[in-house]
């Protein structure tokens, strides 16, 4: 009996290693097939009132107003941090144009120049209800963005409901934005 | 000269063939028709050849980086013609492919060193060891050649490279990987010797003697490598911390803990012929954990600041290596291990028992780090929830376990093999206890009496420091300086390894506790002219300066560090650098290192209107953390040289008699 238990003892390292090996293999396989479902990092802003917004509007975009949100009180709005120098921001324009039929989209141009921005809108299209300037990036810092494009969904009461880092494509609209809008 | 890289590439293929042949040699050699010594001679030759070929190949890679050959994909993406020479060279291992080749270089270097120095070992054992080592080499050569060749060419060579990442141009970062690899890969030889011993089915007491120098040298390198990484994080990242329990840090700590256990248990094998199977297991685990570390860094399984190569197909390859290189030896161990068991004849109070307790604790600590590192991964797979395991877990589990080890570190050196304690043990332990009481009293006076963990830490620090010093005093008699040299001459040199190793730990603890308990920090928004108090000194914010660097612009806060009465201690210049070409901002902390503690200032965002955000720290004794690691490594080196001298003397005696 004692002999058998000694054998079992010596098999323990193998057993421990097998468990680790299985975890590694499964982890690698799920990584490979891209099916790993990971909760997106929640924004610390979620559930809080929207931080400060810029006051300088790009002339010719939107009606004459002094701040981005007041005209849309009671309606959800998508705040889209973008820049003319950013390639993914060009890529998301077509999807945003589709989305603009259902949702007001407001652009905040992060560290951008007016002339570049106008050229960008002429060339790639303008899905935005209005475009606002964050020339020195101070507003972006207040919102805690870590790059452009990055989007925030604001509900009718001015509360941040959702943050999405990266370009908005049709899958983001269907899987994330529309469900979030339906919940409001 | 363009073909230099192609020859290097070819050399790797030939080295792979050499290693495969070398792996297979014992199959014929042990069949018995020819003598082992003939096969061993061939194996040594192949090892030497593979070593030279891989070194040549690595030189070819470094050469391509030095001359900025941008037709090579690796050089084009990781170098730049404007880089200083030293960072061009270090750039060759600052990426996945190149660092893998460096890993192989160290693997064959250790193999070659073993081939050259193993003349006094039994032929059969040497042959098997070289074969196991060659099988590991062959796996990694195949990994390099078939999934991540460093010698890929580009069809169109770019005009200049893309690798000018400013964060990576740093001397600490240039030296950290080679040192760490020296440790990781050095453990491969202890592993090969363990597997060779298992195949033979017979572990002699000499086996402990053979394996210890290799384990010791790897342990020294690993200690320094981890310390370098921690030091880099401290001064470069600007967070003021020195250890973050990041998965990759844990991955280097696990082999270190296992190797620490190994260098202690191999001693028991050598001196007493005990703990054989256990030591074999440790040798296998230490290297396996190094492989696990390599795996998680390179597969991108765990997200970390270090994940520089997250390519899943590479992950599969290295997972296969890990499964075979760990699974087979562990099965072999399950089969052969029980026959190696010996019944202990030692008394409870003995060095044998002390070292067994040491081993149990270190393995527990390894398991704690292992669970803390991989539990989040398992949880994420099981329920899809992402969590992080951080300092609270490790404080609650790792620290208490290590506390027991620290108690033992003052006791074990004054015990005797088999049974009993040295004559002066009682005095040494009483002094250690007094040290603990004094440290607690100092802590109580400094106002941390309500923090139980801190008081326990201080007590352990006093216990260990005074215990080791008392042992030194008893044996060296510092109060009779005239004859001290004679006493040193008579001492076994290895005792210095014990003293420095254990004293280094105490020094490390002093740093860790000093920083952990006495750290003062303040985050504040300030403008020029403000005076900020921090503990017993003050920062006077003089002005903001804008400067132009070679390829960046800086914003520097000029701060005068003063005593509270206004006496100037020095100027601190924390800065942020903006690299326009890379659109990257880096933070350069201002550090004023002193033995009594560091002053540390970081400049974050801000402007003249709202003020600048400053983070200011005073960190007592923090440098002692790395000083302690260096002392530990020196202790290891002394133990190593004491061993080689002893062996040479004993060989000489054998030859003359």
Q: Tell me the C-alpha distance between A106 and A63, whole Å.
A: 12
Phi-psi region of B538 (alpha: psi -120 to 50; beta: other; left: phi over 0): beta
pLDDT digits 0-9 by tens, B566-591: 889 999 999 988 877 667 788 888 99
Inside any domain, residue B426: no
Would you give the DSSP letter of residue B551? S
Confidence at residue B188, expressed as pLDDT on a 0 to 100 scale: 95
pLDDT of residue B305: 46
CB pairs under 8 A between A and B: 70
Residue B92 is assigned to a structural domain of this protein = yes
User: Chain B residues within 8 A (CB-CB) of chain A?
Assistant: 277, 281, 284-285, 288, 292, 295, 299-301, 312, 315-316, 319, 322-323, 326-327, 330-331, 333-334, 337-338, 341, 370, 374, 377-378, 380-381, 384-386, 605
| pLDDT of residue B648 exceeding 60 | no
In degrees, rounded to 5, the angle at the alpha carbon of residue B239 between the alpha carbons of residues B236 and B245 is 100
* Residue B437: band (very low, low, confident or very high) from pLDDT cuts 50, 70, 90: very high
Give the nearest partner residue to A10 out of B326, B334, B378, using CB atoms: B334
Provide, as residue numbers in chain B, all residues whose Cβ is less than 8 Å from the Cβ of A144.
none
Per-residue pLDDT, averaged over B153-178, amounts to: 78
Alpha-carbon distance of B334 to B639, in angstroms, equals: 32
Structure tokens at A35: 């099916």
In a domain, B539, yes or no: yes
Q: Under an 8 A CB cutoff, do A38 and B374 touch?
A: no
Let me know if residue B60 belongs to a domain.
yes
CA dihedral A127, A130, A136, A137 (to 10 degrees): -60
Question: Which stretch of B170-174, B427-431, B641-645 has the lowest confidence by average pLDDT?
Answer: B641-645
- The reply to whether B445 falls in a domain is no
In a domain, B601, yes or no: yes
Q: Do B312 and A30 touch (CB under 8 A)?
A: no
Name the band, by pLDDT with cuts 50, 70 and 90, for residue B380: confident
CA distances from B499 to B268, B352, B464 (A): 18, 18, 11
Structure token pair of residue B216:
């010791």
Strands (E), B190-346: none
Specify the pLDDT at position B328: 92
A130-134 and A104-110 strand pairing:
parallel
Write down which residue in B145, B169, B193 finishes a domain.
B169
Least confident of A80-89, B443-452, B637-646: B637-646
What is the total count of domains within chain B? 2
With contact defined as beta carbons under 8 Å apart, do B262 and B215 qualify? yes
Q: Which of B252, B314, B292 is nearest to B97 (CA)?
A: B314
Query: How far is it, in rounded angstroms, from Cα B342 to Cα B203?
Result: 11
Distances (CA, A) of B74 to A86, B79, B87, B190, B426: 26, 8, 14, 33, 62
pLDDT tens figures, A90-109: 888 989 999 988 899 999 99
CB-CB contact of B125 with B114 (8 Å): no
**Average pLDDT of the residues in B429-448:** 89
The reported pTM is 0.79
Determine the pLDDT at residue A39: 44
B571 phi and psi angles, rounded to 5 deg: -105, 145
ipTM: 0.72
Nearest to B227 by CA among B24, B18, B511: B511
> What tokens appear for B323 in the block?
């499964």
Confidence of residue B653 (pLDDT cuts 50, 70, 90): very low
Q: What's the CA gap between B645 and B651, in Å, rounded? A: 10
Q: Would you say residue B87 lies in a domain?
A: yes
Q: Which secondary-structure segment (H or E) carries B585?
A: strand B584-588
* Run of H or E residues at B132: helix B123-147
The topology (CATH level 3) of A70-183 is Glutaredoxin (3.40.30)
More confident residue, A21 or B240: A21
In a domain, B329, yes or no: no
For the stretch B394-409, pLDDT in tens is 988 999 999 999 999 9
Mean pLDDT calculated for residue range B158-173: 74
Spatial separation of the C-alpha atoms in residues B158 and B71, rounded to whole Å: 7
Task: Give me B51's structure tokens.
Answer: 């070593």
pLDDT exceeds 60 at position B538: yes
Give the DSSP per-residue string, B16-78: HHHHHHHHHHHHHHTTSSS-HHHHHHHHHHHHHHHHHHHHHHHHHHHHHHHTT-TTBHHHHHH
pLDDT digits (tens, 9 = 90+) for B381-397: 777 776 777 888 998 89
**DSSP 3-state assignment of B614?**
strand
CB B412 within 8 A of CB B471: no
What secondary structure, in 3-state letters, does chain A show? CHHHHHHHHHHHHHHHHHHHHHHHHHHHHHHHHCCCCCCCCCCCCCCCECCCCCCCECCCCCCCCCCCCHHHCCCCEEEEEECCCCHHHHHCHHHHHHHCCCCEEEEEEECCCHHHHHHHHHHHCCCCCEEEEECCCHHHHHHCCCCCCEEEEECCCCEEEEEEECCCCHHHHHHHHHHHHHHC
- C-beta of residue B561 within 8 angstroms of C-beta of residue B532: no
Nearest to B350 by CA among B272, B461, B429, B438: B272
CA–CA distance, B597 with B593 (Å, rounded to integer): 6
Domain hosting B603: range is 520-620
Q: Mean pLDDT score of chain B, rounded to an integer? A: 86
Smallest CA–CA separation between A77 and chain B, in Å? 29
Collect all residues with Cβ–Cβ distance below 8 Å to B260 and sequence separation of at least 6: B219, B362
- A interface toward B at CB cutoff 8 Å? 6-7, 10-11, 13-14, 17-18, 20-21, 23-28, 30-32, 36-39, 141
* Boundary residue ending a domain (B169, B189, B215): B169
């Amino acid at each position: 009996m004692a002999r058998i238990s000694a054998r079992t003892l010596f098999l323990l390292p193998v057993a421990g290693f097998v468990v680790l090996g299985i975890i590694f293999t499964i982890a690698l396989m799920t990584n490979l097939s891209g099916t790993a479902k990971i909760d997106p990092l929640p924004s610390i802003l979620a559930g809080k009132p929207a931080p400060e917004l810029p006051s300088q509007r790009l002339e010719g975009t939107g009606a004459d107003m002094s701040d981005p949100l007041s005209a849309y009180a009671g309606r959800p709005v998508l705040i889209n941090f973008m820049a003319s120098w950013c390639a993914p921001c060009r890529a998301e324009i077509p999807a945003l144009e589709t989305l603009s039929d259902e949702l007001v989209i407001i652009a905040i141009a992060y560290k951008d120049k007016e002339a570049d921005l106008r050229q960008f809108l002429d060339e790639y299209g303008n899905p935005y209800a209005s475009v606002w300037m964050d020339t020195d990036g101070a507003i972006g810092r207040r919102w805690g963005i870590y790059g452009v494009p990055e989007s925030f969904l604001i509900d009718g009461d001015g509360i941040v409901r959702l943050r999405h880092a990266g370009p908005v494509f049709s899958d983001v609209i269907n899987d994330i934005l529309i469900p979030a809008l339906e919940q409001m | 000269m363009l073909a230099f890289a192609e020859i290097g590439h070819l050399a790797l293929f030939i080295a792979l063939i050499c290693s495969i042949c070398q792996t297979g040699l014992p199959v014929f050699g042990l069949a018995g028709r020819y003598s082992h010594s003939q096969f061993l001679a061939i194996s040594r030759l192949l090892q030497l050849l593979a070593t030279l070929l891989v070194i040549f190949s690595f030189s070819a890679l470094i050469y391509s980086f030095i001359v900025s050959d941008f037709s090579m994909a690796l050089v084009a993406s990781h170098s730049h013609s404007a880089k200083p020479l030293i960072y061009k060279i270090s750039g060759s291992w600052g990426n996945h492919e190149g660092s893998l080749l460096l890993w192989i270089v160290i693997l064959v270097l250790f193999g070659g060193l073993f081939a050259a120095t193993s003349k006094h070992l039994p032929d059969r054992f040497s042959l098997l060891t070289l074969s196991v080592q060659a099988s590991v080499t062959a796996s990694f050569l195949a990994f390099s050649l078939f999934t991540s060749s460093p010698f890929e060419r580009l069809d169109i060579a770019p005009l200049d490279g893309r690798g000018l990442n400013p964060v990576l141009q740093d001397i600490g970062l240039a030296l950290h990987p080679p040192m760490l690899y020296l440790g990781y890969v050095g453990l491969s030889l202890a592993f090969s010797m363990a597997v060779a011993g298992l195949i033979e089915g017979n572990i002699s007491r000499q086996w402990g003697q053979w394996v210890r120098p290799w384990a010791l040298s790897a342990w020294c390198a690993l200690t320094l490598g981890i310390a370098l990484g921690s030091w880099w994080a401290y001064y470069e990242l600007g967070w003021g911390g020195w250890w973050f329990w990041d998965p990759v840090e844990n991955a280097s700590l696990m082999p270190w803990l296992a190797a620490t256990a190994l260098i202690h248990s191999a001693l028991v094998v050598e001196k007493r012929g005990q703990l054989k199977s256990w030591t074999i297991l440790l040798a296998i685990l230490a290297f396996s954990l190094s492989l696990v570390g390599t795996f998680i860094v390179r597969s991108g399984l765990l997200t970390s600041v270090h994940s520089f190569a997250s390519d899943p197909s590479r992950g599969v390859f290295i997972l296969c290596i890990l499964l075979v290189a760990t699974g087979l030896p562990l099965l072999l161990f399950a089969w052969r291990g029980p026959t190696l068991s010996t019944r202990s004849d030692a008394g409870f109070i003995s060095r044998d028992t002390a070292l067994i307790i040491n081993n149990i604790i270190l393995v527990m600590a390894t398991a704690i780090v292992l669970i803390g590192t991989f539990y989040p991964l398992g949880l994420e797979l099981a329920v899809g929830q992402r969590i992080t395991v951080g300092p609270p877990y490790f404080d609650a589990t790792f620290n208490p376990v290590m506390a027991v080890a620290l108690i033992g570190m003052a006791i074990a050196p004054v015990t005797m093999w088999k049974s009993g304690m040295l004559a002066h043990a009682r005095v040494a332990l009483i002094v250690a206890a007094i040290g603990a009481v004094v440290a607690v009293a100092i802590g109580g006076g400094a106002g941390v009496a309500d923090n139980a963990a801190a008081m326990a830490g201080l007590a352990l620090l006093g216990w260990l420091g005074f215990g080791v010093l008392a042992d030194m005093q008893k044996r060296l008699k510092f109060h009779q300086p005239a004859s001290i040299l004679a006493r040193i001459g008579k001492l076994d040199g290895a005792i210095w390894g014990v003293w420095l190793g254990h004293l280094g730990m105490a020094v490390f603890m002093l740093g860790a506790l000093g920083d952990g308990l006495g750290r003062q920090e303040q985050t504040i928004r300030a403008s020029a002219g403000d005076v900020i108090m921090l503990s017993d000194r003050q920062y006077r914010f003089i002005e903001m300066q804008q400067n132009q660097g070679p390829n960046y612009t800086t914003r520097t806060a000029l701060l005068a560090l003063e005593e509270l009465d206004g006496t100037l201690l020095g100027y601190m210049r924390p800065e942020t650098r903006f690299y326009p070409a890379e659109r990257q901002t880096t933070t350069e902390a201002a550090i004023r290192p002193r033995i009594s503690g560091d002053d540390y200032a970081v400049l974050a965002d801000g402007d003249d209107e709202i003020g600048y955000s400053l983070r200011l720290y005073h960190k007592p004794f923090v440098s002692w953390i790395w000083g302690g690691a260096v002392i530990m490594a020196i202790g290891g080196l002394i133990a190593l040289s004491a061993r080689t001298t002893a062996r040479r003397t004993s060989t000489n005696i054998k030859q003359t008699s």
